[in-house]
Chain A
Amino acid sequence: MDANQFSGKLLLKHEWNLDDELFELWLQKKWIQEVPGIVRKFGVTMCQRCFNTEKKYFGLMPGDITYCRKCVAMGRLSEREPLYRWSGPENELEPIPNSCAWEGKLTPLQEEAAHAIVRTIQTKKRLLISAVCGAGKTEMLYKGIEYAAEHGLRLCIATPRQDVVRELAPRLRRDFPSLTSAALYGDSTERDHGAHLVIATTHQMLRYQNAFDVIIVDEVDAFPFHKDRSLPKAVNRALKPKHALIYLTATPRFNLKLQTALKLIPTVSIPMRYHEHPLPVPTFKRVHQLEKQLQAYELPKLILDWIEERKGRRFLLFTPTIELAQTLSQSLSIPYVHSESPDRKELVMKFRTHQLNALITTTILERGVTFPSIDVAVLLADHHVFDEAALVQIAGRVGRSADDPTGDITFFYEQKTNAMVAARQYTRIKNKEAQRKR
């Protein structure tokens, strides 16, 4: 067996998938080293996999054994069940030149970002790419991926969202047919045998240590990455000491904006979409007692009119809660999806392949998904789940394709919120910036 396929891994015993004899042998050879699972230091208990220190996430097993409940879904880690990290020979990747089979052309702005990425990988630094929705972020990465493959660097694209992994992986495989790759997320069955290219959810980074030369975090500002403090730590642990770390997003949060402003992180800003048409600016429509009406299965005339006006154009309706999606789905007889709906994948697929003309969704479809030629309405846009980033991302679903670069985005609300105004402001500023660049 090729041992260095395990390089950079940090796993539970059963996850190594080795027979007992070989495992023991490698332990003796110090190719695999034990790492205690739960560590107590200065009165603080900490999970060594997910960095959890919160008391409520620790559980007790018979025999007073502490285990971590926060990451238990990845296999139980306790005081008796340690982690094992690879400390044997390092993975030497075979350099593959000219791996990119994509023949498209980058716009000048994309070109600029692509260069910045390659430079960052060369110099092993950090970089933030702040590009509007529909700027063609994936294509900007191609030169960087090609460079990494050519120099035998291990590259990982990590994103907080499963859907993004599922959408990205086939595209990258098509465009880089000669590279080995692995797509890793909660219930994927693939395994990483020391692939050139790993496309994974940020949670999967918890299974690595000292593994990657380059990590590109796509949609850094998405849930749960920006809320869960353990995930940035996991990304840092998964990186080799000398590394390049690249963040991609349309809507950087305060922390990153601050770093940009203080020149702590080099930033490339791309205010224009790849088709060079402006971002659609949201229309605001106030509806009196909107929430009450929706809950009572009544549909305000303004919303019915909006749907009427679509006249066969396909549309998405965003709602803040699952319950509201459900009531709306009943009164409009349009199917709805949410994070736990069992037929989520099928419904999204049906919408994508034009078998459905409309879909009601919670914020799960706010980012990372592309449907050509759609209109979007946000109901109860003043709800607190719709922060600026969410609204900007939702508006970013409109007018994605070059053949049909415009579309309608409408916010229905009761009371205007700062987030709504900020989101509209964002599109206007970016459009102005874009005009200057033209």
Chain B
Amino acid sequence: MHCLICFRDITEATTWQNLWTVKEKNICDDCESKFEKVKGSTLCEKCMKPVSEEVNLCGDCYEWQERFQQDPLIQNVSIFTYNDYMKDVMACFKYRGDYELVHVFKEAIKDTFSEHFKHSFQLVPIPLSDERLSERGFNQAEALAQLIDLPIYNVLKRTHSEKQSKKSKLERLTSKNPFRANHPISGDVLIIDDIYTTGTTLRQAAQTLIDHGATTVSSLTLIRS
């Protein structure tokens, strides 16, 4: 095997533990150690943003609660922080289109899913607009969702708009909902996306899903920026 990121050979020590567990490593320890998991004693209950000790919710989530009385999103779970290394890896994965890199996150996504969610959840990846999809060749959120061995429901559609990453925070919070649903859905839904920045995209998607019959909507995102 070789590392998916640096292409160096991975040689694992043969130990009794290695012998019994069927875990195939596709990233070397060096590269793996550069990713940083989201952690801390005080995280926002909802979106996992680090907050000071006195409050349970971060400013953004509090604002959402105030504005809409009921937040469409119950909970977001993120795995990694958006450190410089992650930025490089995501640039390569998303913008240069190196699809294979998705397998780097397989273990992390699977483990996090089984830790926080049940198998009854229906997975809905955040879609790309058709233009962006043809440009990129794949949808990174769907690629991540496929790492979990559950059926995927592509019920959302997205109308083309300016790249999120090029907008200011205010523009993002007040932008029009770009999502439509082309199928009704029911039960508990889990939205999958690559990155949680302000939570606007996820909440817009969540609102659309609730309007089309979802009971609850949570989200699993690879990165909390």
Among A400-420, those with CB < 8 Å from B are none
State in angstroms the CA–CA spacing of A75 and B136 once bound together. 11
State in angstroms the CA–CA spacing of A61 and B97 once bound together. 9
State in angstroms the CA–CA spacing of A62 and B143 once bound together. 9
Q: Is the interface of B mostly helix, strand, loop or mixed?
A: loop
Among B128-171, those with CB < 8 Å from A are 137-138, 143
Return the chain A residue nearest B137 by Cβ: A61
Among A201-255, those with CB < 8 Å from B are none
> Is B31 located at the chain interface by the 8 A CB criterion?
no
Interface string of B94-110 (1 = CB under 8 A from A): 00111110000000000
Q: When the two chains form the complex, which single residue of A57, A60, A73 contacts B99, counting CB atoms closer than 8 Å?
A: A60
Pairwise interchain contact B138-A72, C-beta atoms closer than 8 A: no
Instruction: Enumerate chain B residues within 8 angstroms of A81, measured Cβ to Cβ.
Output: 137
State in angstroms the CA–CA spacing of A57 and B99 once bound together. 12
Most buried by A among B2, B96, B99, B100: B99
Most buried by A among B96, B137, B138: B137
Among B3-24, those with CB < 8 Å from A are 7
Instruction: Enumerate chain B residues within 8 angstroms of A69, measured Cβ to Cβ.
Output: 98, 100
Instruction: Enumerate chain B residues within 8 angstroms of A56, measured Cβ to Cβ.
Output: 2, 7
Answer whether A61 and B2 are a contact pair too, CB < 8 Å, given A67-B99, A72-B97: no
Q: How large is the interface on B (under 10, 10 to 19, 20 to 34, 35 or more residues)?
A: 10 to 19
State in angstroms the CA–CA spacing of A57 and B4 once bound together. 9
State in angstroms the CA–CA spacing of A314 and B7 once bound together. 39
Most buried by B among A65, A72, A75, A78: A72
Q: Is the interface of A mostly helix, strand, loop or mixed?
A: mixed
Answer whether A62 and B7 are a contact pair too, CB < 8 Å, given A56-B2, A72-B92, A76-B137: no
Tell me, rounded to whole Å, the shortest Cβ–Cβ distance linking A19 to chain B.
16
Return the chain A residue nearest B97 by Cβ: A76
Pairwise interchain contact B99-A59, C-beta atoms closer than 8 A: yes
Among B61-96, those with CB < 8 Å from A are 92, 96
State in angstroms the CA–CA spacing of A437 and B139 once bound together. 66
State in angstroms the CA–CA spacing of A335 and B211 once bound together. 58
Pairwise interchain contact B98-A59, C-beta atoms closer than 8 A: yes
State in angstroms the CA–CA spacing of A72 and B143 once bound together. 18
Pairwise interchain contact A61-B99, C-beta atoms closer than 8 A: yes
State in angstroms the CA–CA spacing of A75 and B137 once bound together. 12
Instruction: Enumerate chain B residues within 8 angstroms of A67, measured Cβ to Cβ.
Output: 97, 99
Return the chain A residue nearest B142 by Cβ: A62
Instruction: Enumerate chain A residues within 8 angstroms of B96, measured Cβ to Cβ.
Output: 72-73, 75-76
Pairwise interchain contact B100-A62, C-beta atoms closer than 8 A: no
Return the chain B residue nearest A65 by Cβ: B137
Pairwise interchain contact B92-A59, C-beta atoms closer than 8 A: no
Most buried by B among A57, A61, A65, A81: A61
Binding site for A on B (CB under 8 A): 2, 7, 92, 96-100, 137-138, 143
Binding site for B on A (CB under 8 A): 56-57, 59-62, 65, 67, 69, 72-73, 75-76, 78, 80-81
Extra contacts besides A59-B98, A60-B99, A62-B137 (10): CB < 8 Å: A59-B99, A62-B138, A67-B97, A69-B98, A69-B100, A73-B96, A76-B96, A76-B97, A76-B137, A81-B137
